[in-house]
Amino acid sequence: MPEVAKVMEHFQIALPAKIRNKLHIRVGDFLEARAVKDGILLKPKELIDKSQAYFWTKEWQEAEKKADEDFKAGRFKTFESVGDFLKDLHK
């Protein structure tokens, strides 16, 4: 059976506990709201700080995946100091 949400003062919407709990929606969470043919679609939405958005680009995530694969395969070096690292870098 469908749940009913109530529109309150200032057009705030109270979501039924059954739906909130199932989707792990907490106070302060964001929901994307979209008008669809038969009504309104609400979807939980994670917001990313603008200074961290680069991390979630397709290119960055592909590079992260490659770095993880390199690490797992042992394709990395460790250094005792920054000086040692810089010497190796300039080779």
Distances (CA, A) of 76 to 10, 49, 55, 57, 87: 56, 31, 21, 24, 16
- Supply the range of the domain harboring residue 77: 50-89
Q: What pLDDT shows up at residue 68?
A: 97
Low-confidence ranges of the chain (pLDDT < 50): none
Domain count, the chain: 2
Q: What pLDDT shows up at residue 36?
A: 96
Whether the Cβ atoms of residue 41 and residue 33 lie closer than 8 Å to each other: yes
Same domain assignment for residues 41 and 12:
yes
In a domain, 1, yes or no: no
Q: What pLDDT shows up at residue 16?
A: 94
Q: What pLDDT shows up at residue 50?
A: 92
Q: What pLDDT shows up at residue 71?
A: 96
Q: What pLDDT shows up at residue 10?
A: 95
